[in-house]
Structure 1
Amino acid sequence: MHRFFIEEAQVEPALLRQKGMAILLPENVAHQVRDVLRLALDERLVLLDNSGEETLCAVKKSARGEVVVEVLERQRGKSESPVEVMLCQGMLKSARFEWILEKGTELGVSTFLPTTCQRSTTGLEEAGTSKQKRWLRIIQEASEQCGRARVPTLLPVRPLMHVLGDIPEGTLALMPWEEERTQTLRSVLREAMTNYEEAPTQRLRVMLFIGPEGGFMAEEVMMARRHGAKIVTLGERVLRAETAAIASIANIMYEIETTLRSRGTTEQLSIQG
């Protein structure tokens, strides 16, 4: 079933909660429904308002001037992961960075924080309005595709030293580095889960620092250590930045979710949407 996020400015949220309500779709969604997907009358779709809930609708009118759907049911969306991952990604060339946004969304990243590092490509320090809109669109479309009911947050680009200085208390900060030899990502995650409360009341927060092309400089790693980040190895092979990001996210999600599931705490920690 096709899924579409809509903004509060486009459709009044209260209307999505009223069974039988006729809703005029905003033009960008109407175009997808009418011209791209060519949904037939009475065909169903899901509207999302980033609240964690979903609105099941049926197409009632599809014309060049407008597309109207009828609200059938308001239902609970898929829960978010019990681990809240903020990906602090060293800036990369456009296509690789956008691929990370897409795949990171599919894997469950909660927040993306583009980060400038010493080896970041020159000219990536500023992300203009058009680029920010494109990144947000990629994240939104990935959320629709993978069934999430909340769109991950995209923060403005920041320098690495500023991000390291603002690590919130109680957050597990991880920095994979190709020159680390002893401390593995898995061992750090298992230690963190051992110290985690048996009956936690909030999601475990993880800040994951991934370097740009060429990786982190030694002084950046030293600075991360001073701010409490755990420096870890991802194995014997040197990974590209985008590979390291996806491999790390997948391992974090698997290790923590598996541990919490064995304790029976995933349901109480799941956040709607």
Structure 2
Amino acid sequence: MHRFFLLQTTLDPGAPVDLTPIAHQLRTVLRLEPGDQILLLDGSGAAFPTQIQSLDRSQAWGRVLSREAVHTEPRRPLFIYQAMLKADKFEWILQKGTEIGVSGFAPVISQRTVVRPAEKVRRKFPRWQTILREAAEQSERGVIPRLDGPYDWPAVLGQGEGVRLLLYAAERERSVGLVQALAGIDPLTPVSLLLGPEGGFSPEEAEEAQAAGWRVASLGPRILRAETAALVAATLVLHQS
């Protein structure tokens, strides 16, 4: 069943619902017709089977049939603070991270990031929100990951919930592995990951992060691309929950 997030719409079983915001997708892209059923989501973790009642080029209406719980969300909240990468790589992390089950993302402007002005990063947010929504629909999630920031380096050091881990490749031979860092931690405890840009974090940034309470962890002896590291780390964290 096709899934759509309607975050600004009240969804009540038995009540009519305005489907006009997704009328083009229903009629032109998916070629659905009145009588067909779709699944609406309000972003709270609930799903609402809905029958299309009317559908034309300019508007669409449906009727909510019932309310169901969505059981596809990971038990452990995971938030990724990712130093900015080139646009396609950062968007790839957003898309695939959403599919994996990441709870939220925030772009970070660090010493070696390619895209530096915060305002330039902020202008990308509408596009990124669309990527998150579409990935959440495709992967059958019940919520859309949160998008925060952008944060400059001093600001991000005060962010993060639960276990806060800095992935720092330069210390990989002396730092604890990511799986080891989570050993013995309650599987419901939130995890925050701070990941670097293509050139990694500088030694000064790593020292400042540790002084602010971030614990250094590694993904093993090999050097991974920034976008690879983000998804490997997310997979390992969520596998532990």
Q: Fold match, TM over 0.5?
A: yes
Does residue 210 of the first structure (1) align with residue 186 of the second (2)?
no
CA separation in 1, counterparts of 2:194 and 2:94? 14
Match of 2:106 in 1: 113
Match of 2:135 in 1: 142
Q: Percent identity?
A: 36
CA separation in 2, counterparts of 1:248 and 1:128? 24
Instruction: Give yes or no for contact 2:86–2:115 (8 Å, CA) kept in 1.
Output: no
Match of 1:98 in 2: 91
Instruction: Give yes or no for contact 2:104–2:145 (8 Å, CA) kept in 1.
Output: yes
Instruction: Give yes or no for contact 1:78–1:147 (8 Å, CA) kept in 2.
Output: no
1:17 to 12, 17, 20: 12
Instruction: Give yes or no for contact 2:24–2:57 (8 Å, CA) kept in 1.
Output: no
Tell me by how many angstroms 1:7 deviates.
2.7
Instruction: Return the TM-score normalized by structure 1.
Output: 0.82
Alignment of 1:193-272 (within 5 A): 193=185, 196=186, 203-255=188-240, 257=241
> Deviation per CA, 1:27-60, whole angstroms, max 9, x where unpaired?
3x11110111111332211111112111101122
Query: Structure 1 residues 128 and 227, CA, compared in 2 at 3 Å: closer, same or farther?
Result: closer
Match of 1:86 in 2: 79
Tell me the matched-pair count.
239
The letter of the residue matching 1:24 is: D
CA separation in 2, counterparts of 1:26 and 1:124? 37
Does residue 60 of the first structure (1) align with residue 60 of the second (2)?
no
> Deviation per CA, 1:176-222, whole angstroms, max 9, x where unpaired?
121221311111111x42xx4xxx8xx31111011011111111111
Query: Structure 1 residues 40 and 97, CA, compared in 2 at 3 Å: closer, same or farther?
Result: same
Match of 1:26 in 2: 20
Does residue 7 of the first structure (1) align with residue 7 of the second (2)?
yes
The letter of the residue matching 2:20 is: P
CA separation in 1, counterparts of 2:152 and 2:61? 45
Instruction: Give yes or no for contact 1:59–1:68 (8 Å, CA) kept in 2.
Output: yes
CA separation in 1, counterparts of 2:160 and 2:90? 23
Tell me by how many angstroms 1:153 deviates.
0.8
Match of 2:65 in 1: 72
Instruction: Give yes or no for contact 1:50–1:151 (8 Å, CA) kept in 2.
Output: yes
Instruction: Give yes or no for contact 2:121–2:150 (8 Å, CA) kept in 1.
Output: no
The letter of the residue matching 2:209 is: A
Tell me by how many angstroms 1:129 deviates.
5.9
The letter of the residue matching 2:177 is: T
Structure 2: gaps of 5 or more residues: none
Instruction: Return the TM-score normalized by structure 2.
Output: 0.93
Deviates more, 1:32-41 or 1:125-134: 125-134
The letter of the residue matching 1:135 is: W
Runs of 4+ in 1 over 6 A off after TM superposition: none
Local SS of the residue matching 2:65: strand
Local SS of the residue matching 1:126: helix
Alignment of 1:108-187 (within 5 A): 108-127=101-120, 130-168=123-161, 171-180=162-171, 181-182=173-174, 183-187=176-180
